[in-house]
Structure 1
Amino acid sequence: MDQLKITFTELLASWQLSLSERQWSQFERYYQELVAWNEKMNLTAITDREQVFVKHFFDSISLSFFVPLGNVQTIADIGSGAGFPSIPLKIMFPHLKVTIVDSLNKRISFLQALVGELELDGVSCIHGRAEDVARMKEHRDRYDLVTARAVARLSVLNEFCLPFVKTDGLFAAMKGADPAEELAEAKYSLRELKGELELTHRFELPIEQSSRHIIIIRKKAATPAKYPRKAGTPLKQPLV
C-alpha cells in the first residue's frame, strides 16, 4: 500500500476521522489537479506530494478538530485561493454546503473545474471581492461557519468575514504563528462587527511540527449597515 495513504489515514484516525476509498481518491485527484494547474498559474508554492497532503489537506481538515462540523450546514470560505480549507473539509464532510469567494477569476476557474472533477455537490464558487459579496442579501448574515486561511491580519479579516456569519454563527481564522499581537490589534474591529472571541486553539502540524492557531469568534448580532466598507478600504484602513 502507498505509504502516504497509510500515514494520512493514521493521522486522521488519531482525530477520530475515517477515510473512505472514495475520499482518498478525491484527495489524490485534488493533488494531481493542483499540480497540473499550478504549472499555468500560481496556486501554491508547495507541490511535493507529502507536503501537500500534510500542509494543505491535513491542515485544512484540522478546523474540524476544534469546530464540530456535524452541527454545521453552511460554510463560506473567504479568499480561498486553491480551495483551502473548504474543499478538503467538503471531501471529509460531504453534507456541508460550501460557498467559496475569491477575487481572482483564474482561481475561481480552477476551483470550478476541480469541483466538477471531484464530483462535489453543493459547492458554489463566486468571483468577487469579499466586501462586495457580503453586501448581497443572499450572503449577508447567512452562514453557520465562515473561514479564512492565511489571508490577512485579523483586524482586516474581521471586516472581510464577519458580515457573512449569521447571528450566533462562527468565524474561524486559521493562522500559523502565535496571533496574540493580531488579537490585541483586532479588539476594535471585533466590537464594531459584533464578534466576540471564544477561543484560540493551538496545535502542531504533524511531521514537520510547525505551530498552527485557529481563532474562533462568535457573531453576537447582525452586521451594522455601514459594514463592510467599500472594496479595498479594509486593507488600506483597517479598523484599529
Structure 2
Amino acid sequence: MESILKYFPELKEEQIQKFESLKALYSEWNARINVISRKDMENFYLHHVLHSLAIARYTSFFERATVLDVGTGGGFPGIPLAIALPQVEFHLVDSIGKKIRVVQEVKNALGLENVVATQARAEGIKNSFNYIVSRAVTTLPEFAKWIKGKLVKNNPPGALPPSVLYLKGGDITHELIPPVKVLEVKDISEWFEEPFFETKKLVVFQV
C-alpha cells in the first residue's frame, strides 16, 4: 500500500480506504476462486494495483469518459482505475463467469458506482467507448481484432483521442504491426522506480 501513496499522494481519504480494503477482499475471494496467483498475493499492491495505475499516470481521461476493460480477469486494471478516477465510467468484461463474480463482489463491497461488470467476450459487446484498457491478455495484433469497431469516432476537443491503453511486458517490437496503429509506447519505469517495472510498457494505439 505504501507504493500507492508514494506515487499518488493526492488521493482522498475515501480512495485510500478503498485501496486499503482491496488486499483483504482479494485474499478472501482468491481463497475460493483463484484469480491471482497465490504466491503473487505477497506482491498484490505492486504487481497488480500499482501496475494497473500506470494508466492513471499517463492520463486521467475526461469527466464521464467511458472505458472498456477487456479480459479484466479479477478486475485489473479496471478496479484500481475506477477507485483512482471516480469521474470516469468503467465497463469490465471477461468471458469467465467466476472471475466476473469476483469483480462484482469487489465492486459491491467498495461501493464503486462507476463500474459495470459483464461476463462477455469483447466481440459480443455492442456499445462503443471513448477508451479501451487491458493488461497482457494476448498479442497486440490479436487484441486489435477483438476490439475492432469498439472505439467511438471522436472524443471532446483537447482530450486524448479514442485509443487503446495496453499494459504489456518484455520485447513487443514484433507486435507493433498493422492493424495496430501506435500512438505512443511508454516505459513504466519512467514513473515507477521498482525493479518489477523495468521491462513493463504502456502501449497507446488505435485500430
Question: TM-score when scaled to structure 1?
Answer: 0.76
Aligned residue number for residue 198 of structure 1: 183
1:40-96, CA deviations, whole angstroms, 9 ceiling, x for partnerless residues? Answer: 122111111xx2111111111111222342366110000000111111111011011
The one of 42, 47, 52 equivalent to 2:41 is: 47
In structure 1, which of residues 109, 117, 122 is the aligned counterpart of residue 109 of structure 2?
117
| Structure 1 position 8 matched with structure 2 position 8 | no
Is residue 82 of structure 1 aligned with residue 70 of structure 2? no
Q: Which amino acid aligns with 1:9?
A: L
| Contact preservation (8 Å) 1:72, 1:144 | no
1:9-48 aligned within 5 A = 9-13=5-9, 18-45=10-37, 46-48=40-42
Structure 2 residue 163 is matched with structure 1 residue 170 = yes
Partner SS state of residue 103, structure 2: helix
Q: How does 1:82-231 map to 2 (within 5 A)?
A: 82-133=74-125, 136=126, 139=127, 142-168=128-154, 169-183=162-176, 186-187=177-178, 189-190=179-180, 196-204=181-189, 205-209=192-196, 210-218=198-206
CA–CA separation in structure 2 for the residues paired with 1:60 and 1:212? 11
1:72 and 1:215 mapped to 2: Cα distance?
A: 23
**Is the 2:54–2:188 Cα contact (8 Å) retained in structure 1?**
no
Distance 1:19 1:114, change over 3 A: same
Instruction: Give the CA deviation at 1:126.
Output: 0.9
Contact 2:93 2:121 in 1 (8 A): yes
Distance 1:59 1:102 in 2: 19
**In the alignment, what sits opposite 1:63?**
55
SS, match of residue 143 in structure 1: coil
The offset of 1:161, in angstroms, is: 2.4
Q: Deviation of residue 163 (structure 1)?
A: 2.6
- Contact 2:82–2:114 (Cα < 8 Å) also in 1: no
Q: Tell which structure's C-alpha radius of gyration is larger.
A: 1
- CA root-mean-square deviation: 1.7
Aligned residues of 1:155 and 1:182 also touching (Cα < 8 A): yes
1:112 to partner: Cα distance: 0.8
Q: Structure 1 residues 72, 216: CA separation in 2 closer, same or farther (over 3 Å shift)?
A: farther
Cα separation, 2, equivalents of 1:9 and 1:99: 26
Number of residues of Structure 1 aligned to a counterpart in Structure 2: 195
* 1:92-145, Cα deviation, whole Å (9 max, x unpaired): 110111101100000111111111100011211111111222xx2xx1xx2111
- The aligned amino acid for 1:208 is P
Q: Do the aligned partners of 1:90 and 1:98 also contact (CA within 8 Å) in 2?
A: yes
1:99 aligns to what SS in structure 2? Answer: strand
Counterparts of 2:63 and 2:13 in 1: how far apart (Å)? 25
Unaligned runs of 5+ in 2: 155-161
Report whether the alignment pairs 1:73 with 2:61: no
